[in-house]
Structure 1
Amino acid sequence: MLLTKKFVQHSVGFTLASLLSMPVFATQTIKAVVIDGYPAKAMWVHEFSEFFIPEVDKRLAKTGNYKMDWQQSYGGSIVKPKGVLEGIKLGLGDIGIVTTIFHNSKLPSQSLSAATPFISNDARVVAKAVDEIAKEYPSMQKEFAKQKQVYLATGVVLNTYQLYSKKPVHKASDLQGTKIAGAGTNLRYIEGIDGAAGVRGGLTDFYNMLNTGLVDHAMLWPEAASTFKVVEVAPYMAEINFGAVNTKTVTVNQRYWKSLPDEVKTALSDVAIEYRDHVATIAMQRAEASRQQFVEAGGTIITISPEARKEWAELMPNIAKEWAKTLNSRGEPGSEMLQAYIDKLKASGATPVRDWTK
């Protein structure tokens, strides 16, 4: 009997010791390869590292069930800027920041804000409205699904395109007979101006294009103008306020997404929305600071009158209706999306210079 009692005590003690030495739970580590072709210093990439990733980690740490092993590859180490969409599709990265303006044919619905200029300069309002359209209508998500990826959230990293010139510009007719550099859809903003010719280029090209006389003007946003010292070759900024445009989208490889636990999916989805608003807020702050830097560097800002803005908008072809018709022809609710988007901007306090639905 004594032997049995000692045996039981020993067994209980051993069991307790074993339990105490074991972890309460086993944290699962999930690898995530994040890619973007732009360098780590690019604002949206920097904020992905400094805001998005830490916020996801904080949420997962609350339960301790999962931990992310982030492997960040930027600046062309895996893909170039134009290659993120294809890179995520092929599984070269698990999560990426797609620059949508490079893929108008594959992602036509992403051009919604670019096709509706002269409405809102508020990056936060535009980002939220585009994101809501993406959630309320399946078109945007279907486009990414065809590329084998899951749409998380849009991103607006510029508050508005402005016009930077060698000589003062006060109205659209001042561009007659001149050449204007642009990145894509925004070159359509000069259609309707007699003798004005658009020249496609990228941010890294604009300085030399202006300096060599290849173009007389360039459309870009204040922060980019400050970064590339455009004031040295184009000392006049026509504050035309074409409007904020979404150009980035956070996406996840479809197969990778399906493999994730629901808790991780929720964390990524929720933080993507916060990242959207965070980046848009920074874009607004940097825009104001960049305007001041432009003036301090010797630049002159010319405020375009409301009448001149309206005249400019009316000269343009209705690229918004064209955008809607293109989607309609593919069986997508383009016209409905256009109306819903503009209604959202109006509800936020924006006043369209032109009614793009007519």
Structure 2
Amino acid sequence: MSISSKTTALLIAAAATATVAVSAPAAAQQTINLTAISGYPPPATWIGSLVDAYMPAVDAKLAKTGNYKINWNKGISGQIVKPRGELEGVETGIGDLGVIVTAFHADKVPLYDVSFKTPFSTNDIALISRTTQKMVDTFPQYNQTWLKEFNQVPLAPTGAVDNYMLWSAKPISDLGQVKGLKVGAAGPNLPWVLAIGAAGVQTNLADAYNSLSTGIYEAMIVWRQGAGAFKLCEPAPFAFDATLGGVNGFSLNVNRDVWDGLPKEVQNALQSSTSAWVEENVKRVNNGAVWGLNRCQKEFGTKVTKASTEQRNAWAQALPPLGKQWAEQRNAAGQPGTEILKAWMDELRAANQPIARHWDRE
């Protein structure tokens, strides 16, 4: 073969190789199916934020490389589990991930209960969220409980409530009027109303409207956004505001077996997107407080009675030493209850919060 023929052959071969390289398909994108569960609908801020902020944030992170895509199955609004069923649902793998309402599982994850044992301390939900995350980061027992006992990987906690108020069918202007009243509350804040003579009824937000409407209870401890979003101010249009304060209440968790089977890039996207969920939830609670109260006032004639400082202090002092009792119980269980309680209150004091009772100093 002549030199020119060899050169031509080489050029043709190179062109063919280049054509093959250019036309070779890129690695196929992998689709991962994930089912998120909750017994609550999107008007619940922690679920609306999950759907509208967290899932898109995860999608956006994965889209940067295009290696993976999540096909979200939104098993919310009680489609798969009812309220309170999220913990077991994620633990057993009925759902791949979900928002656990820690307030309903104080017997299982008691460390999250510290905010319920320190009422009358803060109504800053952003501070509550940050402080809870700091407790999780500081005390490994928080995450160890999820991992070792409930087959779950916790991604992040967030605040639930900015400020609880007492909503009732009839006006309340004095603590004495609560005595003997049937009052609905989540389990951890039942002691708040029992201390002033109420007949406490354990309940949840999803059942509250029907329960108030049918007289199962006559009043309820709830926050403004919740009262407006779930129309609780229709059967209970009167609110007594003693600045009971806010609480942490949620943990976004993934089933551990599912987590272990996910590619590292997907794990990173799920973990690093939690700030979108936390921030949106805080925003919705705060904005919802204004919106919720406005709705209640305009549509249902809500009237708010603000407790005096004396009334607020009297209510706070009527409670048993919740913080001390909780810390001692955690200590006895081998957990750092006293240290967590002090660390929690120190954060609130450093932020100059309206603390009516220093629960760690009793």
TM-score where L is the length of structure 1: 0.92
Contact 2:57–2:276 (CA under 8 A) maintained in structure 1: no
- Determine the structure 2 residue equivalent to 1:18: 20
* 3-state SS, counterpart of residue 157 of structure 1: strand
- Identity between Structure 1 and Structure 2 (%): 34
Give the alignment's Cα RMSD to 1 decimal: 2.0
Contact 2:167–2:237 (CA under 8 A) maintained in structure 1: yes
* 1:187-219 residue CA offsets vs partner (Å, 9 max, x unmatched): 1102332x4321222334434444444433211
Shift, 1:166, TM fit? 3.0
Inter-partner Cα distance in structure 2 for 1:63 and 1:205: 44
- Determine the structure 2 residue equivalent to 1:178: 181
* 1:294-325 residue CA offsets vs partner (Å, 9 max, x unmatched): 22231111011122111100100121222212
- Determine the structure 2 residue equivalent to 1:112: 114
Inter-partner Cα distance in structure 2 for 1:74 and 1:244: 25
- Determine the structure 2 residue equivalent to 1:68: 70
Inter-partner Cα distance in structure 2 for 1:44 and 1:204: 14
Shift, 1:290, TM fit? 1.2
Q: 1:255 aligns with which of 254, 257, 263?
A: 257
Does residue 83 of structure 2 align to residue 78 of structure 1?
no
Residue identity opposite 2:273 in structure 1: V
Greater Cα offset, 170-179 or 157-166: 170-179
Q: What pairs with 1:1-358 in structure 2 (closer than 5 Å)?
A: 1-2=1-2, 3-145=5-147, 146-193=149-196, 195-296=197-298, 297-357=300-360, 358=362
Contact 1:119–1:351 (CA under 8 A) maintained in structure 2: yes
Inter-partner Cα distance in structure 2 for 1:77 and 1:95: 14
Shift, 1:126, TM fit? 0.5
Contact 1:295–1:301 (CA under 8 A) maintained in structure 2: no
Shift, 1:355, TM fit? 0.6
Cα distance change, pair 42–167 in 1 and its aligned pair in 2 (3 A):
closer
Structure 1 residue runs of 5 or longer lacking an equivalent are none
* 3-state SS, counterpart of residue 68 of structure 1: strand
* 3-state SS, counterpart of residue 229 of structure 1: coil
Structure 2 residue runs of 5 or longer lacking an equivalent are none
Cα distance change, pair 220–32 in 1 and its aligned pair in 2 (3 A):
same
Contact 1:38–1:80 (CA under 8 A) maintained in structure 2: yes
Residue identity opposite 2:287 in structure 1: Q
Cα distance change, pair 168–40 in 1 and its aligned pair in 2 (3 A):
closer
* 3-state SS, counterpart of residue 302 of structure 1: strand
Greater Cα offset, 208-217 or 62-71: 208-217
Greater Cα offset, 67-76 or 298-307: 67-76
Residue identity opposite 1:139 in structure 2: Q
* 3-state SS, counterpart of residue 186 of structure 1: helix
* 1:130-166 residue CA offsets vs partner (Å, 9 max, x unmatched): 1110111012111211101111111223322110123
Instruction: Tell me how many residue pairs correspond in the alignment.
Output: 357
Contact 2:44–2:226 (CA under 8 A) maintained in structure 1: no
Cα distance change, pair 82–177 in 1 and its aligned pair in 2 (3 A):
closer
Inter-partner Cα distance in structure 1 for 2:204 and 2:38: 17
Residue identity opposite 1:316 in structure 2: L
Contact 1:36–1:79 (CA under 8 A) maintained in structure 2: yes
* 3-state SS, counterpart of residue 163 of structure 1: strand
Contact 2:151–2:256 (CA under 8 A) maintained in structure 1: yes
Residue identity opposite 1:170 in structure 2: S
